[in-house]
């Protein structure tokens, strides 16, 4: 008799009995071989067992031994097997000939790579760019940064995590010299008595964490969702504060203002800049904050009173607070509040940022950021450069200085004196980057676009060369979750056809570029051991780790030696700064926006989709529609009804989508998810960047609504169902 799936809980979490067979249930067999690994999706990094049959995983079994999810897995994790042998799977190199991508041998593919890369390495290395991903394992992140700087000698490497964590990581680094998204174990969330989720829709983006919120609520904690929309998280949190997009910093300053008046300033530790920060907060009286945030003074006062009364208040930010042209300063304002009230770095309290991508934490630690070297070292620091030069057997002067950030790198593609060749690994900037129309034009203008991926993403469809890489269950490595926990990802099956493991492809490209030195690993273990050694002495020190140790248990970094127990609490004073003190910075905020005649567009994710949708849009178990969410009053004001097409226009582009009425959204705000091509990021700005983090302003764009032209062909809903999936370029040749 088969067990059945448990119903969705009131906290948006899917739990199930371990019987999943490519979307359906089968009886459990004790005789199938199993491999324990990590989920390919979000930064919780749930563990589960893959049951194998004929070199294919046929079932996923969550394990209660998972240190983070304790046997729960969300919908996306449950459906992860669908893409393992998807008909669209790339299994041969594809080379553009006569305007079409056609299958070629690896010999011919690498000959093309040699013609593209070798001359640039000799004459103009910075004309080549590298664009990575927060989904890469730590070892691939490390190797990609090494490849860019040693094999290609280019300064221009960055990754799509710039669109995710850059503002929070910048604020943390400049405050305490350290960036671990959550400086405490996830279990501590359950001990908080007040939780402020600032722009964080956990129920749809990080569902397994909801169990910790439920634990806190069961203990009597108040949970606030601070978001312009009544998201799934807001509906289950119990408290919703619907502030204007981009006004989170004003809210933080307003609460800090009241904490000072009420005598609640009790700094966590001595720090620079405290007097200046408190002086700025003087101006943020409740009336001003209510006006800027678009809520009532009573709501501001109630929130502040609850924060003042809490023993363990915890502020958790997501992309809603961070993806702004002033995102770093917004996070800074929230850190200042937690620090000055004595909660920063305390168990179950303080501040944390919720990393989104699967290895978003590790992906921003080990060298694919344009300003970073392995171990979270700074490329600008002469000592750090010397340390890595010794590991890599080169001179410190051989290492380039920081180059272009992610959006600037894309904007420079195909421009005179800019990027002529771009290598993309595991990312889909045609969908995920701001100003998608302009980015597409820039990628089309490249001389060479080399994409390494396992499915034909929209970016791959523009490539001059596509190299078939490996999926999550076809490779070894480690990932680091949002609490800094390092775990093993184990290889379960072999990549099909002519597909190769990504690390081997990077070594092939180093050979093609004419610089194979340092890229001749005989086994993956040789690469992994080098990676662990390379982090020694860095802030993100993994040098005490090994595959054998991680087989016994996961551990939170830093782990500076094999006997180290790890570091569950990362932000206790003192700090890794020159004088061991924190520095609080005064947030530099834009002037309050004047009342607009237009609406504000904000963007984000849906529970059934992930990032640019290359995988989830192909998965029939993860159906979703793209639509523009708006308040019923907004729809009436514009003469719109549910399901009707409406054209959205901004200064950067336009798109047409059906209307979805959402009573829980602010009437002055509309929401568009970004998982589809031709939707949200056609409307966002490729030029408006945070001056510190270089984060694009995804979350607040002036937009106007226009009913679709009468008589024009109405667009069908953008839907993820079999037969309605975005098809590849007509010239793409698929194979098994």
CATH number for the domain including 640?
A: 2.40.40.20
267 lies in the same domain as 384: no
Question: For residue 399, what is the domain's CATH number?
Answer: 3.40.50.740
- Beta bridge partners of residue 353, listed in sequence order: 317
227 lies in the same domain as 124: no
425 lies in the same domain as 276: no
Supply the pLDDT for residue 95. Answer: 98
Query: What would the pLDDT profile of 110-165 be if each residue is shown by its tens digit?
Result: 999 999 999 999 999 999 999 999 999 999 999 999 999 999 999 999 999 999 88
Greater pLDDT, 7 or 545: 545
**Is residue 556 one of the residues assigned to a domain?**
no
**Is residue 584 one of the residues assigned to a domain?**
no
Per DSSP, helices labelled H in 165-237 are: 166-176, 202-205, 210-218, 232-237
- Phi and psi angles of residue 384, each rounded to the nearest 5 degrees, phi first: -65, -40
Supply the pLDDT for residue 270. Answer: 97
Q: With pLDDT > 70 as the criterion, what percentage of the chain qualifies?
A: 91
Contact assessment for residue 34 and residue 28, using Cβ atoms and an 8 Å cutoff: no
Supply the pLDDT for residue 594. Answer: 62
142 lies in the same domain as 255: no
Supply the pLDDT for residue 653. Answer: 95
**Is residue 230 one of the residues assigned to a domain?**
yes
Distance CA 617, CA 628 (A): 18
CA angle 448, 453, 459 (to 5 degrees): 50
Across the range 655-659, mean pLDDT stands at 96
172 lies in the same domain as 313: yes
Instruction: Find the range with the poorest average confidence among 65-79, 216-230, 298-312.
Output: 65-79
**Is residue 206 one of the residues assigned to a domain?**
yes
Contact assessment for residue 159 and residue 557, using Cβ atoms and an 8 Å cutoff: no
347 lies in the same domain as 417: no
245 lies in the same domain as 158: no
**Is residue 690 one of the residues assigned to a domain?**
yes
Number of domains in the chain: 4
Query: What would the pLDDT profile of 374-387 be if each residue is shown by its tens digit?
Result: 999 999 999 999 99
Across the range 350-369, mean pLDDT stands at 92
134 lies in the same domain as 245: no
In which band, very low, low, confident or very high, does the pLDDT at 656 lie, cut at 50, 70 and 90? Answer: very high
453 lies in the same domain as 519: yes
6 lies in the same domain as 32: yes
Ramachandran assignment for 663, one of left (phi > 0), alpha (psi -120 to 50 degrees), beta (any other): alpha
Across the range 659-666, mean pLDDT stands at 96
Supply the pLDDT for residue 490. Answer: 95
Q: Which of 263, 297, 262, 280 has the alpha carbon at shortest distance from 336?
A: 280
**Is residue 50 one of the residues assigned to a domain?**
yes
Supply the pLDDT for residue 147. Answer: 98
174 lies in the same domain as 294: yes
**The residue to which tokens 């309290």 are assigned:** 349
Across the range 293-304, mean pLDDT stands at 97
Question: For residue 19, what is the domain's CATH number?
Answer: 2.20.25.90
Question: For residue 213, what is the domain's CATH number?
Answer: 3.40.228.10
**Is residue 159 one of the residues assigned to a domain?**
yes
- The yes-or-no verdict on residue 733 having pLDDT over 50 is no
- The yes-or-no verdict on residue 717 having pLDDT over 60 is no
What is the three-class DSSP state of 269? coil
**Highest mean predicted confidence (pLDDT) among 541-550, 589-598, 615-624, 717-726:** 541-550
Distance CA 631, CA 707 (A): 16
Q: How far is CA 547 from the centre of its chain?
A: 25
In which band, very low, low, confident or very high, does the pLDDT at 728 lie, cut at 50, 70 and 90? Answer: very low
- The yes-or-no verdict on residue 277 having pLDDT over 70 is yes
Query: What would the pLDDT profile of 588-608 be if each residue is shown by its tens digit?
Result: 998 876 656 679 999 999 988
Contact assessment for residue 680 and residue 650, using Cβ atoms and an 8 Å cutoff: no
Q: How far is CA 440 from the centre of its chain?
A: 21
Q: Kindly tell me the sign of the dihedral angle through the C-alpha atoms of 382, 385, 389, 395.
A: negative
Supply the pLDDT for residue 12. Answer: 43
Q: With pLDDT > 90 as the criterion, what percentage of the chain qualifies?
A: 84
What is the three-class DSSP state of 537? coil
Average pLDDT of the chain? 90
Supply the pLDDT for residue 579. Answer: 95
- The yes-or-no verdict on residue 720 having pLDDT over 50 is no
Domain extent at residue 52:
1-78
Q: How far is CA 648 from the centre of its chain?
A: 26
Ramachandran assignment for 566, one of left (phi > 0), alpha (psi -120 to 50 degrees), beta (any other): left
Interacting residues of 416 by C-beta distance below 8 A, sequence separation 6+:
none
Supply the pLDDT for residue 389. Answer: 97
- The yes-or-no verdict on residue 20 having pLDDT over 60 is no
**Is residue 150 one of the residues assigned to a domain?**
yes
**The residue to which tokens 């807001």 are assigned:** 234
Supply the pLDDT for residue 459. Answer: 97
Across the range 217-225, mean pLDDT stands at 96
Across the range 205-213, mean pLDDT stands at 94
250 lies in the same domain as 191: yes
**Residue 722 burial (CB count, 10 A):** 9
Supply the pLDDT for residue 591. Answer: 83
């Amino acid at each position: 008799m088969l067990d059945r799936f448990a119903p969705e809980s009131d906290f948006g979490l899917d739990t199930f009995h371990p019987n999943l067979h490519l979307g359906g249930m089968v009886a459990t067999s004790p005789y199938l071989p199993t491999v324990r690994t990590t989920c390919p999706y979000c930064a919780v990094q749930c563990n589960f067992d893959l049951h194998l049959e004929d070199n294919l995983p046929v079932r996923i079994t969550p394990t209660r031994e998972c240190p983070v999810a304790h046997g729960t897995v969300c919908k996306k994790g449950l459906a992860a097997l669908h893409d393992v042998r998807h008909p669209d799977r790339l299994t041969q190199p594809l080379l553009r000939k006569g305007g079409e991508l056609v299958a070629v041998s690896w010999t011919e593919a690498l000959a093309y790579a040699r013609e593209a890369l070798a001359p640039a390495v000799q004459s103009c290395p910075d004309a080549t760019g590298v664009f990575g991903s927060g989904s890469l394992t730590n070892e691939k992140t490390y190797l990609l940064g090494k490849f860019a700087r040693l094999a290609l000698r280019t300064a221009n490497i960055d990754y799509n995590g710039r669109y995710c964590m850059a503002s929070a990581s910048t604020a943390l680094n400049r405050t305490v010299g350290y960036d671990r998204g959550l400086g405490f174990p996830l279990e501590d969330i359950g001990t908080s008595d007040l939780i402020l989720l600032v722009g964080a829709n956990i129920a749809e983006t990080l569902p397994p964490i909801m169990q910790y919120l439920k634990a806190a609520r069961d203990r009597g904690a108040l949970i606030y969702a601070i978001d312009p929309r009544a998201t799934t998280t807001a509906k289950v949190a119990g408290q919703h504060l619907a502030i204007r997009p981009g006004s989170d910093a004003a809210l933080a300053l307003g609460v800090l203002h009241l904490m000072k008046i009420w005598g609640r300033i009790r700094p966590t530790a001595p720090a620079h800049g405290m007097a200046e920060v408190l002086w700025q907060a003087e101006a943020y009286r409740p009336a001003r904050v209510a006006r800027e945030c678009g809520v009532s003074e009573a709501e501001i006062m109630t929130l502040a009173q609850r924060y003042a009364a809490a023993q363990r208040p915890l502020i958790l930010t997501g992309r809603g607070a961070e993806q702004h042209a002033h995102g770093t300063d917004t996070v800074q304002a929230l850190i200042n509040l937690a620090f000055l009230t004595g909660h920063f770095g305390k168990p179950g309290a303080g501040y944390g940022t919720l990393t989104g991508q699967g290895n978003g934490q590790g992906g921003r630690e080990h060298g694919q950021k344009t300003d970073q070297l392995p171990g979270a070292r700074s490329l600008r620091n002469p000592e750090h450069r010397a340390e890595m030069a010794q590991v890599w057997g080169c001179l410190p002067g051989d290492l380039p200085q920081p180059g272009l950030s992610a959006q600037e790198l894309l904007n420079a593609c195909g421009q005179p004196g800019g990027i002529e060749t771009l290598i993309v690994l595991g990312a889909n900037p045609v969908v995920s980057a701001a100003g998608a129309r302009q980015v597409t034009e820039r990628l089309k203008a490249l001389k060479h676009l080399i994409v390494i991926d396992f499915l034909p993403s929209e970016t791959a469809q523009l490539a001059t060369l596509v190299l078939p890489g490996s999926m999550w269950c076809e490779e070894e490595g480690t990932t680091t979750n949002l609490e800094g926990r390092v775990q093993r990802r184990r290889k379960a099956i072999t990549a099909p056809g002519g597909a190769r493991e990504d690390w081997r492809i990077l070594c092939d490209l180093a050979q093609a570029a004419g610089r194979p030195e340092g890229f001749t690993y005989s086994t993956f273990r040789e690469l992994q051991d080098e990676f662990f050694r390379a982090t020694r002495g860095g802030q993100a020190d993994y040098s005490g780790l090994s595959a054998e140790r991680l087989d016994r248990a996961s551990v939170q970094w830093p782990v500076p030696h094999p006997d180290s127990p790890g570091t569950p609490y990362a932000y206790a004073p003192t700090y890794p700064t020159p004088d061991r003190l924190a520095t609080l910075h005064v947030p530099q905020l834009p002037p309050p926006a004047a009342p607009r005649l237009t609406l504000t567009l904000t963007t984000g994710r849906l529970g059934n989709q992930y990032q640019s949708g290359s995988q989830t849009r192909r998965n029939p178990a993860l159906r979703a529609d793209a639509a523009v969410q708006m308040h019923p009053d907004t729809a009436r004001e514009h003469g719109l009804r549910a399901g009707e097409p409406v054209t959205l226009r901004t200064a950067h582009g336009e798109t047409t989508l059906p209307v979805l009425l959402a009573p829980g959204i602010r009437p002055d705000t509309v929401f568009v998810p970004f998982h589809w091509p031709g939707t949200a990021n056609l409307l966002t700005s490729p030029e408006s960047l945070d001056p510190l983090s270089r984060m694009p302003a995804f979350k607040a764009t002036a937009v106007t609504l226009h009913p679709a032209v009468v008589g024009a062909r109405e667009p069908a809903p953008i839907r993820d169902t079999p037969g309605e999936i975005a098809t590849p370029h007509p010239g793409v040749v698929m194979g098994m």
